[in-house]
Structure 1
Amino acid sequence: MNQLTNFPYQHVLVLGLAKSGTAAAKLLVRSGKRVRVNDLKATSEDSIVKDLQTKDIEVIVGEHPLTVLDGIDILVKNPGIPYYNIVVQEAQKRGIPIITEVELAGQLVSSSLIGITGSNGKTTTTTLIFEMLKHSDQQVKIAGNIGEVATEVAESLQKEETMVIELSSFQLLGVQKFKPKVSVILNLFEAHLDYHETFENYKNAKANIFMNQTESEYLIYNADDPKVVEMIQFARATKVPFSTELKQEAGAWCDQEFVYFKNEKIIALNEIALVGKHNIENVMAAISAALLKGATKKGISQVLTTFTGVKHRLQFVENINGRLFYNDSKATNILATSKALKSFDQSTILLAGGLDRGNDFDELLPYLKNVKAMVVFGETALKLRDIAYKSGIEKVELVDNVKHAAQKAYQLSNKNDVILLSPACASWDQYRTFEERGDMFINAVHTLK
């Protein structure tokens, strides 16, 4: 088992349990550290609390007393806990460093790490890289939101294994020495401003993925995204661009027929199973990372000709009487929904709505030309209805949830229509997660059949 041999802090507060907090606490104890855990929602009767106490971990639950910081050298924060949390703010006042669990994972296995970030496409790209390496007979593990907790994977990672991890801005905001061997930045779009407050803060958090990289590491980036190009200009890593618009001598690119890496033809575009231009960007990023870690063209081709997408990300669900249902519940912002809409040329019925973060949705207008009807729900239903009318869409229906949205969309549809759940909003006004929202849609579609 790998341990934290160069972690100079002795007394650690883990703020927030969940999976990542629990894993971090156990790793720290196994590495010889003194650990205190604080969680607001847990109770003393929870099995995980009792388990941690058997490992000589001090656990304080049900409140956030500021005394939890007494004697603490560093705070390991659950990524979802905001920086206005009372304990976090007090830690900042006391000058206590604040990190997230991925910093611990990075200190265990940085030389074997591929990290992927961006506003959209992270899950698809992370999965593609993992599958490409696996189909090239390499030993590889996946971590983060779509796999096991990063520290659990890193702790057991062998020297010959590679760890592929999806990284959010929340996680990257709390790193110090984190330095992947290969970093990937897919795109940048204003997102999570309720957490980061400004786009500059959000961008700076994303930039932490390459902050510590040097010329011996690689930075794969989207050369078609001006915000990304501006952000990485001072990066010291060896830069590997990808582009759907211009040939890239140092990276991946495509013409009307093929995807290339540098001057080598990799795969024909019409052989790629994923739909949408945005997925070509994800494919090129994945090809670049996989090749840099020794993947084979055969392994890459096997994946790209069969992989049709991850669940909840432009996932094809069913063909019912000629209507094509797609689940894109992971589209929690306007950019993601814009890209989903660009993926289809045929008549589309869009299902959208969710948590209101203050967006006006005008940025969706250029992408609604093929949308013949909209079914809207959640806190943003009226805003989206207004955008639909503004774009000239006459058929707009308000419903209670995505189950009713699927039913109503089918009633409005004709043969060869695409029925697309792509909410452009987070799910938290009605659902615990976007997965729960997507599963409700999938079940509703199967019921229609």
Structure 2
Amino acid sequence: MTSVDFPDRPQLAGKRVTIIGLGRSAVAAARLVRQLGAMPFISEKEDTPKLAPWKALCEKYQLPAEIGGHTERAYEADLFVLSPGVPLNAPVVRKAADSGIPVTGELELASRCCHAPLLAVTGTNGKTTTTVLLHHVLTHAGYAADLAGNNDRPLSEVILDGATPRAVVVEVSSYQLETAETFHPVVAAVLNVTPDHLARHGSMEAYAATKSRIFARQRTGDTAVLNADDAWTDAMEPPDGVSVVRFSARRELAEGAWFDGTSLRLRHRALARRKDLRIPGLHNVANALAVAAMADAFGVNLDGFAEALRTFPGVEHRIEWVAETDGITWYNDSKSTNPDSLRIALEAFDHPVVLIAGGQHKEGADYQSLKPLVARKVSALIAIGDSGDYFTGLYGDDVPHVRVRGVEEAIVHARNIAQRGAIVLFSPGCASFDQYNNYEERGRLLKTRSGKWLGWNCQKYSG
């Protein structure tokens, strides 16, 4: 493992810093720049009910903000910090750049203040499960580690806490990588690259290039972890001197992490058995292999890897076991927001499922290619949301189907359709914004309403 030269903290004392976009990252970034001696100002173009929690935090921390439009006050700044959802080509950003105002992102800003080694993960699918599992493996091995990034805890919050953990595991999105300039993880992984966010990135080539920016500041002694089963990631070329370790759930790798059908291996050493990993699907085997490769590169003793897998319960909304009632097993995969994540969920089960799917489908997303898989893996389709008619039209000739409005109606129909021994899988394959504020709200609605209405006495997954 490389030694770490910690970056210089941004010199912001007395500077005016505008944070564009109001949300969790914006509030954390504003608090951080104020701690650095700067004067923060948050500017948000929208004014919707979903902003209420963040408005409340602005009031709590006495952060000045404008809501419902970017006024000239926003441009009275020495630095722009973008929330992840704000693209570089947004008019407000272009105007700032044309005026000579430097532009950065919350992750980049926070990473320059971080005095702990960063272990970073990106990819279209699997980021959250992989980062949470890596954090679990590190803590199981006795490391004081933190977890941050594109999840419930921005990296800025880790800095604000004031502690210096032995490592910080960071989930990184392509949006965050757009503004990453000095971001330097000592170990970094790209899990996969499949079509997603193309309306923002423009093409698969541009999307993959953005993902590969996670390696841009790595150097001799650092490690890049790549998925040998994914053509886009396998073709990535980290900087000279960076060690490259690949992982594969499908073939043997003499120098990497791989799955032999029974055991998860690092080079020729068996680390754990497949049954030690309690979350379903070959994709989660791949995620665990990536974790093994990253932990090993960081110098972690993997003697306890199997036990760490056995004690890992999984992550909420990612093919999450919810309950079993009357012989019917329910899974919540609300994080499924694109066709590839729907494909992964369907492939995780050996038997046909009653599938609840639909929502706000994404521009350019390829649902057509899923037809053979849906025909083979789905016993009945319950289509919801804006894409409901599209899904029933696309898959209706292959499977029995019903069109309903949302999650609550879908629960009732699923219970009426499913027979003893069946699996009900909520894997929307679409974004949630047609009816819900986010995928978390959508998933928790499934769990709370189903438990209440069906009155199950469920045996919760104990991990």
TM-score (norm 2): 0.88
Q: Cα distance 1:255–1:246, how it changes in 2: closer, same or farther (>3 A)?
A: same
Alignment pair present for 1:87 and 2:92? yes
Q: For 1:39-74, what per-residue CA distance to the aligned partner results, in whole angstroms no more than 9, with x for missing partners? A: 34479x955445555xxx76444430245224x333
Q: For 1:400-438, what per-residue CA distance to the aligned partner results, in whole angstroms no more than 9, with x for missing partners? A: 111211221121111211111111100000111111111
Counterpart in the other structure of 2:123: 118
Alignment pair present for 1:69 and 2:75? yes
TM-score (norm 1): 0.91
C-alpha distance in structure 1 between counterparts of 2:336 and 2:65, whole Å: 37
Count of aligned positions:
440
In the alignment, residue 127 of structure 2 is paired with which amino acid?
K
Alignment pair present for 1:420 and 2:425? yes
Counterpart in the other structure of 1:407: 412
Q: Which residue of the other structure, out of 366, 379, 392, is the alignment partner of 1:385?
A: 392
Contact 1:111 1:181 survives alignment (8 Å): no
The worse-fitting range, judged by mean Cα deviation, of 206-215 and 439-448 is 439-448
Alignment pair present for 1:365 and 2:375? no
- Listed as ranges, the matches of 1:50-61 within 5 Å are 50=59, 53=62, 59-61=65-67
In the alignment, residue 362 of structure 1 is paired with which amino acid?
Q
Deviation at 1:156, TM superposition (A): 3.8
Deviation at 1:289, TM superposition (A): 1.5
C-alpha distance in structure 2 between counterparts of 1:16 and 1:388, whole Å: 38
Q: For 1:349-395, what per-residue CA distance to the aligned partner results, in whole angstroms no more than 9, with x for missing partners? A: 111000032335112123220211100011111111122234x21x1
- Listed as ranges, the matches of 1:192-231 within 5 Å are 192-231=197-236
Q: Which residue of the other structure, out of 341, 364, 374, is the alignment partner of 2:381?
A: 374
- Listed as ranges, the matches of 1:264-303 within 5 Å are 264-303=269-308
Contact 2:148 2:155 survives alignment (8 Å): yes
Contact 2:144 2:166 survives alignment (8 Å): yes
| Structure 1: runs of 5+ lacking an equivalent | none
Alignment pair present for 1:175 and 2:185? no
Deviation at 1:293, TM superposition (A): 2.6
Deviation at 1:238, TM superposition (A): 1.3
Counterpart in the other structure of 2:449: 444
In the alignment, residue 363 of structure 1 is paired with which amino acid?
S
The worse-fitting range, judged by mean Cα deviation, of 121-130 and 75-84 is 75-84
- Listed as ranges, the matches of 1:32-51 within 5 Å are 32-40=37-45, 41=47, 48-50=57-59
| Structure 2: runs of 5+ lacking an equivalent | 1-5, 457-463
Contact 2:124 2:194 survives alignment (8 Å): yes
The worse-fitting range, judged by mean Cα deviation, of 409-418 and 124-133 is 409-418
The worse-fitting range, judged by mean Cα deviation, of 199-208 and 219-228 is 199-208
Q: Cα distance 1:110–1:174, how it changes in 2: closer, same or farther (>3 A)?
A: farther
Counterpart in the other structure of 1:29: 34
Deviation at 1:248, TM superposition (A): 2.0
Runs of 4+ in structure 1 deviating by more than 6 angstroms, as ranges, are none
C-alpha distance in structure 2 between counterparts of 1:365 and 1:123, whole Å: 27
Q: Cα distance 1:416–1:185, how it changes in 2: closer, same or farther (>3 A)?
A: same
Output the aligned Cα RMSD: 2.4
In the alignment, residue 318 of structure 1 is paired with which amino acid?
A
Deviation at 1:263, TM superposition (A): 2.1
In the alignment, residue 384 of structure 1 is paired with which amino acid?
F
Deviation at 1:171, TM superposition (A): 1.2
Deviation at 1:19, TM superposition (A): 2.3
Counterpart in the other structure of 1:107: 112
Q: Cα distance 1:125–1:235, how it changes in 2: closer, same or farther (>3 A)?
A: farther
Counterpart in the other structure of 2:461: none
Contact 1:220 1:241 survives alignment (8 Å): yes
Contact 2:338 2:362 survives alignment (8 Å): no
